[in-house]
């Protein structure tokens, strides 16, 4: 789906290399999370994925199309949609359905097809009932779902979400994550999620850790998130469940520390207690 | 307090006026305003009054709302009326007080002027009351389209207008937030003379501007990510098309025109 070959990006204003020599392949239908501390180059990497930024070195291919070629830019952007952190700054129109229609309108589709896509997209994010509402009256989670609907109305095969839940409360965060998961599982849309929340990373198929523009670790959530030293080096925290189990293990309790989710953690502690 | 500011208030509804095509509605509003300046006696205004009553009647909008729209121009009305009464020269002086000499001619032209202003505001507010901002900009875009051949950026102007409308509530909310934040730090926006208050606005405006530019940057990027590339090859979800109401409106406005012509010629 997306192939990054030895790509680097240097911001011309600051001369800072935000991405250095990254190699990465994202498969169709995959759910990939990118983790990294502030300024580690996650957003820059995301912007390379749909040609908002062009790599200063190396290549990025989307469905075998080079992002550096002018004529590929619209086909690529309609295949790789991007959702940003602040929902207020990506909603264009004053009515929810008009905003969702913005992308398909830009693609020059006939209005009946736009109508169909808008309705389907709003249903997919469970916002159909709000189609006539004014976006500024919605909650943060609802706005972000409208923004996601605006992207899926373009029928992309991949959605890149750059910290979509960073400005939301726990309820909004759950709404957005449920929507993203459903799109990935049911509609088979490839998802690239950038986040600071370990619980969100735990839901994905593959986790990538960035540090200073490099990819320093990669693997399934359980593999990556249970390596405490490596996470510390990337200035990230272990998931709470893992941290608890590690502390218990250090204290001499026979628990499995290769666990990231709460339920498995509870089970592990219960069996350990049962054994004692 | 800042929330109360609305621009071209819109009342959703399903009256014939709401269903009218925005292009037609804009053109008729212009027609209405231009015709207003051809009226030279009160019989003409009587006809306009009847017409307005008819329009308001079919609009589903409470008359109280409509007349509330006149309140902001009350002072302007009184001011222009006074100027007219006292400064229009004429033979028939009503009374003399020191150097003030109000004339009957002045009173007459003051009346004409006042009616013109009132109908001007009523007519244009009927347009904004029954047309949502987004539909209105859509109509303006279409009406400007023929001029895009001579270099008028019709689509861009309409896009800028609709984005401005979209961000008014967002920016107002932010202004409120910054104001509260600065007040919490001891800023005082309410006391002092005009100069002091203007100065107090600086710490409000600077963050507001910076954030507006940041928003603009992010919005532009989000729009590009959604394949926006100007008006070329762009289609619309809602396509404007003329309906029955639009055809019925023609005889109604022709009747208005006829009425005004008759009053000019015969009365
Ligand atoms: N427009 C820009 N001009 C110059 N330098 C930039 C620009 N945007 C980002 N950078 C720099 O590039 C580096 C990586 O930034 P990036 O935004 O990709 O980080 P990030 O991982 O997304 O961080 P965060 O978690 O804060 O979103 C940072 O050191 C930053 O200072
Ligand atoms: Mg970022």
Residues of B in contact with A50 (CB under 8 A): 225
- The residue range of the domain holding B116 is 1-131+239-267
Does residue A16 line the site of ligand 1, with CB under 6 A?
A: yes
Ligand 1: which atom is nearest the Cα of residue A41? 18
Put simply, the answer to whether B237 touches A104 (Cβ < 8 Å) is: yes
| Greatest alpha-carbon span in chain B | 72
Residues A220 and A204 in one domain: yes
pLDDT beneath 70: ranges in chain A: 275-276
Residue B136 lies in a domain: no
Q: If residue A5 lies in a helix (H) or strand (E), which one and from where to where? A: strand A2-10
Q: How many Å lie between the centroid of ligand 2 and the Cα of residue A10? A: 15
Q: Hey, which residues does B161 pair with through a beta bridge?
A: none
Q: Answer whether residue B151 is part of any domain.
A: no
pLDDT tens, A182-223?
A: 999 998 999 999 998 888 888 899 999 999 999 988 999 888
Report chain B's C-alpha Rg in angstroms. Answer: 24
Q: Are residues B30 and B89 in the same domain?
A: yes
The C-alpha of A71 sits at a distance from chain B's nearest C-alpha, in angstroms, of 13
Which residues on chain B are in Cβ contact (under 8 Å) with A49?
Answer: none
A41 in ligand 1 pocket by Cβ < 6 Å? Answer: yes
A268 and A166 share one domain: no
Distance B231 CA to ligand 2 centre (A): 31
Q: Classify A12 as helix, strand or coil.
A: coil
Per the rule left: phi > 0, alpha: psi between -120 and 50, beta: everything else, A213 is left
Q: Which pLDDT score is estimated for B266?
A: 84
CB contact (8 A) between residue B234 and residue A106: yes
Does the CB atom of residue A117 touch ligand 1 within 6 A? no
Residue with tokens 């009173």: B107
Quote the pLDDT of residue B5.
41
Residues B120 and B18 in one domain: yes
pTM more than 0.80: yes
Cα–Cα dist A45/A19, whole Å: 7
From chain A, the residues in CB contact with B132 under 8 A are 94-95
Dist. CA A128–CA A51, nearest whole Å = 31
Q: Do B116 and B187 fall into the same domain?
A: no
**CA B79, CA B110: separation in Å to the nearest integer?**
10
Please check whether residues B88 and B185 belong to one and the same domain.
Answer: no
The answer to the question of residue B139 being in a domain is no
Indicate the pairing of strand A2-10 with strand A158-162.
unpaired
Residues B257 and B218 in one domain: no
Q: Is B266 a domain residue?
A: yes
Same domain? B245 vs B226: no
Smallest Cα distance from A46 to chain B, Å: 12
Which residue numbers of B have CB closer than 8 Å to A's CBs?
Answer: 132-134, 162-163, 165-166, 169-170, 173, 215, 218-219, 221-229, 233-239
Residues A267 and A180 in one domain: no
Convert the pLDDT of each residue in A142-193 to its tens digit. Answer: 999 999 999 999 999 999 999 999 888 888 899 899 999 999 999 899 999 9
Domain count for chain B, please give it. 2
Is residue B83 domain-shared with residue B36, that is, in the same domain?
Answer: yes
Same domain, B184 and B209: yes
- Asked if residue B247 and residue B215 are part of one domain, the reply reads no
The pLDDT of residue B2: 40
Cα of A41 from ligand 1 centre, angstroms: 6
In this predicted model, what pLDDT tens digit does every residue of B113-157 receive, in sequence order? 899 999 998 998 899 889 888 888 889 999 998 998 898 898 999
Q: Tally the domains of chain A.
A: 2
- Same domain, residue pair A159 and A54: yes
Chain A residues in contact with B225 by the CB 8 A cut-off are 50, 52, 77, 81-82
Structural domain contains residue B144: no
Mutation choice for ligand 1 from A7, A13, A14, CB with most ligand atoms inside 8 A: A14
Q: Are residues A71 and A107 in the same domain?
A: yes
Q: Which of B237, B238, B239, B240 to mutate to test the interface with A (most CBs of A within 10 A)?
A: B237
Q: Both A193 and A243 in a single domain?
A: no
Query: In angstroms, rounded to a whole number, what is the distance separating the alpha carbons of residues A181 and A188?
Result: 10
Q: Which residues lie across from B122 on neighbouring strands?
A: none
pLDDT in tens, chain B (267 residues): 344 444 457 788 889 999 999 999 999 999 999 999 998 888 999 999 999 999 999 988 888 888 887 888 888 888 888 888 887 777 777 777 777 777 788 888 888 889 999 999 899 889 988 988 888 888 999 999 899 889 889 899 999 988 988 898 889 889 999 888 888 888 787 777 888 888 888 888 899 999 999 999 999 999 999 999 988 888 988 888 898 999 999 999 999 999 999 998 887
Closest among A56, A69, A27 to A208, alpha carbons compared = A27
If asked whether residues A195 and A253 sit together in one domain, one would say no
- On whether both B229 and B245 belong to a single domain, the answer is no
Nearest to B23 by CA among B176, B195, B246: B246
Domain at A160, CATH number? 3.40.50.300
Q: Please state at what angle helix A96-106 crosses helix A140-152, rounded to 10 degrees.
A: 30
The answer on A266 and A176 residing in a single domain is no
B170: distance to nearest CA of chain A, Å?
A: 7
Residues B125, B215: one domain? no
The reply to whether A200 and A258 lie within a common domain is: no
- Judge if A10 and A83 occupy the same domain: yes
Decide: helix, strand or coil at residue A212.
coil
Count of C-beta atoms within a 10 Å radius of residue A119: 15
Would you call A97 and B237 a contact, using CB atoms and an 8 Å cutoff?
Answer: yes
Q: Are residues A145 and A36 part of one domain?
A: yes
Smallest CA–CA distance, residue A32 to chain B, in Å, is 20
**Mean predicted lDDT score pLDDT of chain B:** 86
- Please tell me the distance between residue A85's alpha carbon and the centre of ligand 1 in angstroms: 14
- Contact, A174 vs A204, CB < 8 A? no
pLDDT of A114: 95
| Domain identity same for A127 and A33 | yes
Q: Is residue B147 part of a domain?
A: no
Q: Is the CB of A40 under 6 A from ligand 1?
A: yes
Structural domain contains residue B203? yes
Residue A173 phi/psi, 5-degree rounding, is: -65, -40
Structural domain range at position A259: 239-276
Ligand 1 atom nearest to A213, measured from its CA:
14
What are the tokens at A234? 């990337």
Residue keyed to tokens 């008028």:
B152
Q: Which ligand is nearest to the CA of B214?
A: 1
Residue B237 is classified by DSSP as: S
Whole-angstrom distance, CA of residue A8 vs CA of residue A23: 10
Cα(B221) to centroid(ligand 2), Å: 14
> Is residue B32 in a domain?
yes
């Amino acid at each position: 789906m997306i192939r990054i070959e030895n790509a680097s990006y240097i911001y011309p204003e600051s001369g800072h290399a935000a991405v250095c020599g990254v190699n990465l392949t994202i498969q169709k239908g995959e759910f990939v999370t990118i983790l990294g501390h502030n300024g580690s180059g996650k957003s820059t990497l995301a912007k390379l994925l749909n040609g908002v930024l062009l790599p200063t070195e190396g290549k990025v291919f989307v469905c075998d199309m080079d992002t550096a070629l002018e004529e590929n830019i619209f086909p690529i952007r309609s295949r790789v949609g991007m959702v940003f952190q602040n929902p207020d700054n990506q909603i264009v129109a004053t009515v929810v359905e008009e905003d969702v229609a913005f992308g398909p309108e830009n693609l020059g589709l006939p209005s009946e097809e736009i109508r169909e896509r808008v309705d389907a997209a709003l249903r997919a994010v469970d916002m159909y009932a709000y189609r006539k509402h004014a976006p500024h009256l919605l909650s943060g989670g609802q706005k972000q779902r409208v923004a996601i609907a605006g992207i899926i109305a373009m029928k992309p095969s991949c959605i890149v979400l750059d910290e979509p839940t960073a400005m939301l409360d726990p309820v909004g965060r759950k709404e957005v994550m449920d929507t993203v998961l459903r799109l990935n599982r049911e509609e088979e849309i490839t998802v690239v999620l950038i986040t600071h929340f370990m619980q969100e990373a735990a839901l994905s198929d593959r986790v990538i850790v960035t540090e200073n523009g490099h990819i320093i670790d990669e693997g399934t959530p359980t593999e990556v998130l249970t390596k405490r030293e490596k996470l510390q080096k990337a200035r990230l925290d272990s998931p709470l469940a893992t941290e608890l189990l590690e502390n218990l293990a250090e204290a001499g309790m026979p628990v499995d520390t290769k666990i990231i989710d709460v339920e498995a953690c509870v089970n592990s502690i219960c069996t350990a207690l049962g054994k004692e | 307090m800042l929330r109360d500011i609305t621009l071209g208030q819109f009342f959703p509804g399903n009256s014939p006026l709401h269903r009218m095509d925005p292009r037609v509605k804009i053109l008729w509003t212009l027609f209405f305003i231009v015709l207003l300046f051809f009226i030279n006696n009160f019989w003409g205004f009587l006809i306009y009054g009847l017409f307005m009553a008819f329009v308001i009647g079919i609009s589903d909008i409470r008359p109280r709302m409509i007349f509330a729209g006149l309140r902001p121009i009350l002072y302007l009305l009184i001011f222009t009326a006074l100027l007219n009464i006292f400064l229009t020269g004429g033979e028939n002086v009503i009374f003399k007080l020191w150097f003030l000499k109000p004339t009957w001619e002045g009173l007459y032209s003051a009346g004409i002027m006042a009616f013109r202003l009132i109908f001007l505001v009523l007519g244009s507010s009927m347009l904004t009351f029954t047309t949502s901002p987004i539909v209105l900009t859509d109509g303006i875009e279409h009406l400007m389209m023929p001029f895009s051949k001579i270099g008028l950026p019709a689509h861009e102007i309409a896009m800028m207008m609709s984005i401005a409308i979209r961000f008014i509530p967002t920016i107002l909310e932010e202004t409120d937030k910054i104001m509260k934040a600065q007040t919490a730090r001891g800023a005082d926006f309410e006391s002092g003379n005009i100069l002091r208050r203007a100065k107090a606005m600086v710490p409000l405006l600077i963050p507001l501007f910076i954030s507006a530019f940041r928003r603009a940057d992010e919005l532009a990027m989000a729009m590009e990510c959604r394949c926006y590339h100007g008006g070329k090859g762009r289609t619309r979800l809602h396509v404007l098309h003329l309906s029955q109401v639009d055809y019925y409106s023609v005889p109604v406005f022709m009747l208005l025109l006829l009425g005004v012509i008759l009053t000019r010629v015969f009365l």
